[in-house]
């Protein structure tokens, strides 16, 4: 079954957790014991309705404060599709969590409180979706029940958002506006009778209609080798396969491929997925590939079509979102993890800090926690990269602190 990855973003009290909880409830994805717990706690809190935000706020601090702090991944299915929602916090101090949640998402839901309209946080949420090149963005204008389900309020917010859209440099991004009341389930899974003036789809209808081809990248095929499979059994004594995930375009049996960084060449002999074999595997497939020639391939290598070898470089220019309490400064060394390949790296220059409210770019010499900025990085050996705009998988990396082994930053190659 097709899987759709979604990220959500919203400010404090915009109703993000409530919307997700309502979506789970309306698709009958909440278990009976979970529903009973929500009912029990809702009554305990003096509410005469089900507080669906309790379905998603997993941390005690989140439940106590009524805010989302950490990224939570929520799974549910409908007869048409399976979904993974990355419920990300919206506050500026958790920018790194927003970036983490949206970096692997195909679609995003940005919530706006109908009473407040477009605010500073909305700029930040939209900026991050632009930075990460999320193609499908649903703008859910929530709490319409608190503005008497006013069509004028809805249209005025769209006009406000158009000004924000004018700052975007991502022309392929599609915006869809939906007026909702997450608390009462208006236009979440069921059409709202209170907003008959709205003729568009509900949130769930829109998600159901999104197709894999809507997110397809028009880019060259990349296959990062995660592990080498050698069963060494009597039946597969000489078998050698390479497991990994395809990004960009598909790969087919018979394709001439080059192994990076050794630059040795061969042809794809077989493509396996468990016990099945395929002539072709599309982007996003996790498969095992065997080659016609017995050449040396190891974890960290990458298979590409011979005529589509990416750029080799020892200097990386990138946008970096900083996630560490220790600032990013020139001279500091990290491991740059690019796909399955780890390379020693030194920060050569911190060039600028970029305001995540679509504000001005400022020249700086360091980046602090949650900052986003432009950085130049030198590597101990070359890697083969694409720009993030060209290939989202081969164009991104993480920086790992060599002393603490923590993920210090995430980068997007220019």
Q: Which helix (H) or strand (E) holds 331?
A: none
For residue 104, how far is the Cα from the chain centroid? 3
Give the contacts of 3 (CB within 8 A, at least 6 positions apart). Answer: 81, 82, 83, 84
SS3 category, 49: coil
Say what the alpha-carbon torsion angle 324, 330, 331, 335 is, to the nearest 10 degrees.
Answer: 40
CB distance 114 to 179 below 8 Å: yes
Q: Chain-centre distance of CA 261, in angstroms? A: 28
Angle between helices 95-102 and 120-131 (to 10 degrees): 40
The burial class, CB within 10 Å (0-12 / 13-18 / 19+), for 213 is exposed
* pLDDT attached to residue 71: 60
The stretches in the chain having pLDDT less than 50 are 59-62, 67, 69
Q: Can you give the pLDDT at residue 58?
A: 52
What's residue 60's pLDDT? 46
Helical H runs in 66-174? 95-102, 120-131, 151-165
Q: How far apart are CA 297 and CA 273, in angstroms?
A: 19
**HSE-CB of 247 using CA atoms within 13 angstroms:** 16
Q: What is the pLDDT of residue 39?
A: 85
Which of 240, 17, 25, 207 lies closest to 111 in space, CA to CA? Answer: 17
Strand partners, 265: 258
Q: How far is CA 277 from CA 71, 271, 287, 289, in A?
A: 36, 6, 10, 10
- Residue 264 Cα distances to 176, 258, 297, angstroms: 47, 6, 9
SS3 147: helix
Residues 230-286: tens digit of each pLDDT: 887 777 778 899 999 999 999 999 999 999 999 999 999 999 998 889 999 998 899
| Beta-sheet pairing, 82-87 with 3-9 | parallel
Q: Residue 315: its pLDDT value, please?
A: 97
Answer whether 302's CB lies under 8 Å from 224's CB. yes
Structure tokens at 146: 């608190």
DSSP 381-399: EEEEE--TTT-TTTTEEEE
**pLDDT tens-digit profile of 318-341?**
999 999 999 999 999 999 999 999
> CB of 120 within 8 A of CB of 11?
no
Report DSSP state, residue 367. Answer: B
Three-state SS at 134: coil
Give me the sheet containing 72-77, strands edge to edge: 72-77, 82-87, 3-9, 107-113, 136-142, 174-179
pLDDT in tens, 7-42: 988 877 788 888 988 999 999 888 888 888 888 888
Q: How far is CA 288 from CA 142, 219, 226, 230, 245, in A?
A: 45, 21, 10, 11, 9
Helix pair 120-131, 151-165: axis angle to 10 deg: 50
């Amino acid at each position: 079954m097709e899987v759709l990855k979604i990220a959500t973003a919203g400010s404090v009290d915009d109703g993000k957790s409530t919307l997700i909880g309502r979506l789970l409830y309306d698709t009958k994805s909440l278990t009976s014991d979970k529903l009973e717990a929500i009912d029990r706690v809702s009554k305990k809190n003096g509410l005469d309705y089900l507080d669906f935000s309790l379905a998603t706020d997993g941390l005690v601090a989140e439940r106590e404060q009524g805010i989302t702090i950490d990224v939570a991944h929520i799974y549910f299915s409908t007869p048409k599709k399976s979904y993974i929602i990355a419920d990300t916090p919206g506050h500026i101090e958790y920018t790194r969590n927003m970036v983490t949640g949206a970096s692997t998402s195909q679609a995003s839901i940005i919530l706006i409180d109908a009473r407040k309209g477009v605010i500073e946080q909305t700029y930040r949420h939209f900026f991050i979706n632009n930075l990460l090149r999320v193609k499908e963005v649903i703008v859910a204008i929530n709490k319409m029940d608190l503005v008497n389900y006013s069509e004028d309020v809805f249209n005025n917010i769209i006009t406000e958002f158009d000004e924000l859209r004018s700052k975007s440099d991502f022309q392929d991004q599609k915006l869809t506006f939906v007026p909702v009341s997450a608390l009462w389930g208006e236009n979440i899974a069921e059409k709202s009778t209170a907003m008959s003036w709205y003729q568009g789809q509900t949130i769930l209808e829109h998600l159901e209609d999104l197709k894999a081809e809507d997110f397809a990248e028009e880019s060259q095929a990349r296959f990062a080798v995660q592990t080498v499979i050698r069963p060494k059994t009597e039946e597969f004594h000489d078998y050698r396969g390479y497991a990994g995930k395809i990004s960009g375009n598909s790969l087919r049996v018979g394709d001439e491929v080059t192994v990076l960084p050794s630059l040795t060449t061969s042809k794809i002999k077989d493509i396996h997925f468990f016990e099945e074999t395929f002539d072709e595997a599309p982007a996003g497939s996790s498969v095992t590939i065997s080659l016609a020639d017995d050449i040396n391939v190891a974890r960290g290598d990458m298979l590409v079509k011979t005529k589509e070898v990416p750029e080799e470089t020892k200097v990386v220019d990138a946008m970096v979102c900083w996630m560490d309490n220790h600032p990013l400064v020139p001279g500091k060394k990290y491991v740059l993890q690019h796909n399955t390949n780890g390379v020693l790296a030194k920060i050569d220059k911190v060039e600028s800090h970029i305001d995540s409210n679509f504000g001005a770019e400022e020249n700086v010499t360091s980046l602090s926690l949650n900052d986003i900025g432009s950085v130049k990085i030198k590597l101990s050996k070359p890697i083969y990269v694409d720009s993030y705009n060209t290939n989202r998988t081969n164009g991104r990396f993480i920086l790992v602190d060599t002393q603490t082994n923590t993920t210090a930053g995430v980068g997007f190659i220019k």
